[in-house]
A and B are shown apart, each in its own frame.
Chain A
C-alpha cells in the first residue's frame, strides 16, 4: 500500500545568492486542500521560497515534490502545467493587454484540458464577476490602479484553475473592503484547493488563517495555529512586536 502523499513537500531546500542564504534547509509540508499562511519579517525568504516552488529560481540544494513529481529546477511553465499558480509580490500582469485578455490567457491554458474555446469563455466570464472587474473588462491593465491590478492577477491565477495557489501579499495596496473580499475569496477557493498565502497584515492573517508557518532568516522558525504563533514571544521579538502589541 502506498502511503498518502502530501500535496507539497520540500526537504533541505536551500537557496544561496553568493553569501546570502535566502532559504536555509527548509523542510515544509502541505496537505491536500490545506490553507497555510506564511509570515516573517522583510527579507525572511518567503518570496524566494515561492520562486523556487514555481521554477523562477533553481534551488542550490534540496528537493521539492508536488504530489509524486519532483519539481525542483523545472521550468516555470512545466510547473504551471502540473497545477501550481502564483500571484507574485510585485504585480505581474500583461500591462499592455485588456483585463479580459489577461484572464483569457490564463483560462485558455486551463480549458485546454478539455480543449474547448467555449469553456475558456465561460471561465473568463465567471472570473471577471468574481474579481468584480466585469465593467472594466476592456480597460488596459496598465492604466488601472495598483489594487485593481492585484485583482487582475488574482483573476489570472483563478482562471488557470491550479491545484495549488500561492499568493504573495495579496492584500497589499487594497482597501479594507477589498481586503475583506480577498479573505472571502480565499476561503471560497480553499473549499476545493490548497493555498499558501504570504502576508504582513496580521488582521488579514487572523481572518483567514488556520495553520501559520513563520520564516526567519531563511529558516522555518515555528509552525503552529494562528493563536499560538501570535502569542509566541520569539515571533513577537523578530517580527510582530509592535504590531501585535498595538
Chain B
C-alpha cells in the first residue's frame, strides 16, 4: 500500500470515528452510552501500551501502574481543588514523572528487556499494596481520604474547563472521552511521522544499529515510555470521570494482562489494533456478564488461544494484509503488460512487505 493510500485511509477512519462519536448519543440509550464511554477510556489505555510496545519495543506488564496513578492523582486533585481542569493535568503529569523515574532507572541502568517486564509487574503489585493499606484518617491528602481497600467514592467528575459549577452531562462526557481517544490516536500518528517517531521505530527495529548511527537508545526509549505513562495516566482520569470512583483494584494484574490481550487480538505494531481489540473484548465481556451459563475468563482464554493459533498477527494486520493481497491481485492483472516491458519483479515489493510502523 503506498504512502498516500495509507494516509487517505487513516484520514477516512478518523473522519468516520468523529461522525460516530458525534451521532452515537442520538441512536442509543444512556446506559449504552455510558458503557461506550468506559470502553473509550479503556481504549486510551490500550493505545498507551500499544504505542510503547508496538513502536518502542517496550513490553510493560504494569501499564496499569500509570493508569492507576493517573486515576488517584485525578481523584485527589479533583476533591481538593473542586475543579477537574488542573486535576486532569496532574493525572497526566504525575504518572509521566513516575514513568520518567522508573524508566531512567531501567533504561539507563541497562537492565534487560526481560527484567523490564518483571520490574513493571512488581511496581504495580507494590502500588496495589500501598493503596490497599491506606485505610484510616492518617492517609489523607488535603481533604481527600485515600480510603484503603474501599477506595475513594464520589469523586467529582469533569466540569467545563475552569468552571466547577458546570458539571458535564453524561452525553458531554461521552463527547470528551470519545474525542480524547480520537485526539490521542491522531497525536500518536503525527508523532510516529515526526523525526522522533521514526527514530523510535528504528530503535525498536535494531537498537545496535541505531546506536552505531549516533542515536542514544536509552533516551529514545525513555521518552517513549514517558509518553506511554502520560497517556495511561490520562486514561485513568477518563476512567474516574466515568465511574466517579477509584479503588486499589485499578492496579489489578488482571487488567494489566487484559491490555496485553487486547493488543494481541487487535494487532501489535498498529494503533488501530489495540483500540479494536479493546472494544471487541470489552463488549464481549460485558455481554457475557449478562448471563450465567459461561464464565467470562474462560471465554477470554479461549479467544486468546484461537487468535494465537489462527491469527498470530492480530485482527488489524491480518485484514490489512488480506486487503493488500487482494489489491495486488487486481493490480497484477492490469499490470501484467508493464511487467513484460521489463519491470523488475522486486519493484512490486514481495508479499506482505510493509515497512514496520505503517498500517
Which A residues are within 8 Å of any B CB, using their own CB? 54-56, 75-77, 80-81, 85-86, 88, 92-98, 101, 104-106, 108-109, 117, 135-136, 138-140, 143-144, 156, 160
Contact = CB atoms under 8 A, between A and B. Distances in A.
A97 B201 contact: yes
B346 A139 contact: yes
Given A96-B356, A143-B353, A156 B213 contact: yes
B4 interface: no
B211 A75 contact: yes
A26 B127 CA distance: 52
A98 B217 contact: no
Given A92-B206, A109-B215, A101 B198 contact: yes
Interface in B310-354: 344, 346-347, 349-350, 353-354
Most chain B Cβ neighbours within 10 Å, of A85, A88, A98, A117? A98
A31 B246 CA distance: 67
B198 A105 contact: yes
Interface residues on B, range: 20 to 34
Contacts, number: 89
Interface of B: 195, 198-199, 201-202, 205-206, 208-217, 344, 346-347, 349-350, 353-357
Contacts of A105: 198-199, 202, 210, 213, 215
6 contacts: A54-B212, A76-B211, A96-B357, A105-B198, A140-B350, A144-B346
Nearest to B199: A105
Contacts of A76: 208, 211-212
Nearest to A156: B213
Given A77-B214, A96-B356, A105-B199, A138 B349 contact: yes
B206 A94 contact: yes
B353 A77 contact: no
A77 B215 CA distance: 6
Which 6 residue pairs spanning A and B have beta carbons closest together?
A96-B356, A80-B214, A76-B211, A94-B205, A140-B353, A109-B214
A239 to B, nearest CB: 28
Contacts of A95: 205-206
B211 A77 contact: yes
A135 B344 contact: yes
A95 B208 CA distance: 13
